Every structure is written in structure tokens, then in C-alpha cells.
Amino acid sequence: MNIGIPKERRPSEFRVGLSPSGVEILCRSGHTVFVEKGAGLGAGFNDLDYEHAGARIVYSAEEAFGRADLLLKFARPQDEELEMIRDESTLAGFLLLASARQSKIDALMKKKVTTIAYEQIRQPDGSFPVMSPLSRICGSMTALIAGRLLQANSGGKGILLGGIPGVPPAEVGIIGAGVVGSASARAFIGLGAHVTLLDVNLEALNRISDQCLHLVTMTATPHNIQKVCGYVDVLIGAVHVSGERSPMVVTREMVRAMKPRSVIIDTSIDQGGCCETSRPTTHEQSTYLEEGILHYCVPNIPSLVARTATHAFVNAVMPYIGELVDKGIERAIETNAAIKDAVNTHAGKLHHLYRLTGTK
């Protein structure tokens, strides 16, 4: 099978669709991998690394896209990339199509592109094996980001997350006890902050409570969310629903009730955001003030540690890529339920993609 790995063109996306180690596995199995020149530089992989792994370096995006039966991207393709995708080819990546413009989905269906969304690959136990390591990285980074944003020179309140003897630590509220929220809670507790974690799933709260001492847990009712918003210095939105837009659980009124110069980090922004006042930002311009609250809504937080993130991602995704290339796309979809559930478009039709209305 011919496999294409283009350079990511989304702003501040430093990760890449496959590392040299992943390319080597595919090449040893007899597949041909075309890597666009410079595709891995943001993650610390040079063209020579890919050539040593067996890849062929191509010198234009058109060639990387045009030669591919299977296109391995990291982020959802932009408009100019959609034009380069071959008709009836297969695209795999973190596509997040539930929050994409309808025009992008229409373009994929018109070209009869089979799309496989890594974030929807789901095991029978309910876990998301490809999404999980990146979610863990994202959650761990929220504490580092919040610590910086609370500094006076960043527009924050000028407080130290962990406090010192005689001065209390920062109050942190986290909505969502999934992988992002749990990793975030551990990171904040490790830095000495006082953490309240909210979720609608009591089993998830029980699990993280057993792992973390000094963690306060609450059910994520509107009343409790409003209560927490009233006293926290940092609010983390970590709400995830596979294949759907994130539910809006923090209203503008709740944000208005927060203390001035508090910080909101909405990690759900790649799926539309869970705060009414959230809108996407970039690593270059990562924050804005809304209702007197500092918002950080960067969709690709793990891209800041692109090398770690790419290695972690490849470790998780290779078994599924291996099935796609060795069995063939159709056979892999038929025989692997986890891959089948991640198919969003196929043969010009929608599959397992839930839009804002909650319909397929």
C-alpha cells in the first residue's frame, strides 16, 4: 500500500502523522511510505531519519497527498489540503469532524474519502487507546500553563499555585474526570494546589479519589458547577463526548460570577468547548479576556511537546495502522470493531459522526 505523510499546515501544529520508527515498521512489511520534505522537523525528526527508516522523501504537498492510498495526518485537514486529497482514498488522523464546518464534511463525502478518526477508536471496555496518551499529556500540561497564567505579567492574579506556609494555595476546579481531568488533578495536586474535581460519573470520581489524597470531588450538576466557579482561581474544562460536540456546561453567567483575573483553560475547545465564553486561540496568541476572566483555549496543547506527543501517539496507534495496511481498508473495518466505530465518512456517506443536533 502507498502511504503518505504530509507536513502539518495548521498553525503551531508541530506533531507529525508518523515517526521514523513507525515508518520503519511499515516499510519492513513491504509498504511504500512517502514523507513530505520537512514533515517531522517540528517534532525533531529530520528527513534523513525517515530515509534511514525506508521512506521516500517527496518535495511537495501535492505529491505526498496524491501518491497516498492511505494518508496519515495528525490534525484535521485545512481547506487547501482537502483539495489535494485523492478521490476514494483513506484519511486517518485526529479529525474531530463533529466540530468541523459542514463544507469540510461535504468535500470529504463528495470525494468518497474514507475517514478514520483516531479519537473515536474505542475498545470494548470503553477506553480510547489512541486518544488516551495525548489526553494524559494535555492534562499534565494544564498545571504548568495555569501556573504561568496566574503570574501578574501574564494578566493573572499574581498568586502561586501551591502557596507557601501562611499563604493558602490556589483553588482549582476541574470539570470532567476522564483522562484529561484525572491527569490534570494529579498535576495540580503535585504542585500543591487545592483541587475540586466534578463529573456526572460517580464511578470515575471514586476511581480518582482512590488515587489522589486531598482531592475534593463533587457531582457535576449546574448548581455545583456554579458554586465552584464562584471561588476558584483556575477552572479547567475537560469534558469529552466521543464523536459529538462537547456539551456547554459553564454558562456566561457562571463566568461572570468568577473572581476577576481568574483563569479558564478549556481543553474541550477542539470539540467546540464546554464554556459559553470559549473560542479557539493559538499558541502565538493563546489568551484573551472575557467577562474579566483570562481564557486559554488552544486546541492542540500537546503540540508544545511535539516529540513526546508523537512518540506516545505512535506507540498507541501502530496496531491499528498495521491492520489497515496489512488487511486492507475494507477488511480492517469489517473485522475490527474499534476501527469500524472510528469511520466518519465512507463511500460518500456519514458513519458514526454526531453533529450538533446529535444525529448521524
C-alpha cell at 169: 494555595
In this structure, the strands spanning 293-296 and 263-266 are: parallel
Q: CATH 3.40.50.720 in the chain, residues?
A: 2-121+306-350, 132-299
Q: What is the 3-state secondary structure (H, E, C) of 106-130?
A: HHHHHCCCEEEEHHHCCCCCCCCCC
What is the average per-residue pLDDT within 104-131?
94
From CA 56, how far away is CA 54, in angstroms rounded? Answer: 7
> According to the model, what pLDDT value does residue 354 have?
54
- CATH class belonging to 2-121+306-350: alpha beta
Residue 67 DSSP SS3: coil
Sign of the four-CA dihedral 125, 130, 267, 180:
positive
Residue 220 DSSP SS3: coil
Per-residue model confidence as pLDDT tens digits over 62-90: 999 999 999 999 999 999 999 999 999 99
From CA 63, how far away is CA 66, in angstroms rounded? Answer: 5
Pick the CATH number of 132-299 from 3.40.50.880, 3.40.50.720, 3.40.50.800, 3.40.50.2300: 3.40.50.720
Q: Please, which residues bridge with residue 294 across strands? A: 263, 289
Q: Considering the chain, what is the average pLDDT of its residues?
A: 94
Task: Supply the pTM of this predicted model.
Answer: 0.90
Residue with cell 502523522: 17
CB 275 within 8 A of CB 264: yes
What is the average per-residue pLDDT within 291-312?
96
pLDDT at 303 > cutoff 90: yes
How many residues does the structure list for the chain? 360
pLDDT at 358 > cutoff 70: no
Per-residue model confidence as pLDDT tens digits over 11-62: 889 999 999 999 999 999 999 999 999 999 999 999 999 999 999 999 999 9
Per-residue model confidence as pLDDT tens digits over 94-113: 998 877 889 999 999 999 99
For 2-30, give the DSSP string.
EEEEPPP-STT----S--HHHHHHHHHTT
C-alpha cell at 310: 508523537
Q: Can you say how many angstroms the Cα of residue 40 is from the centroid of all Cα atoms in its chain?
A: 19
From CA 209, how far away is CA 175, in angstroms rounded? Answer: 15
> According to the model, what pLDDT value does residue 357 have?
33
Per-residue model confidence as pLDDT tens digits over 196-212: 999 999 999 999 999 88
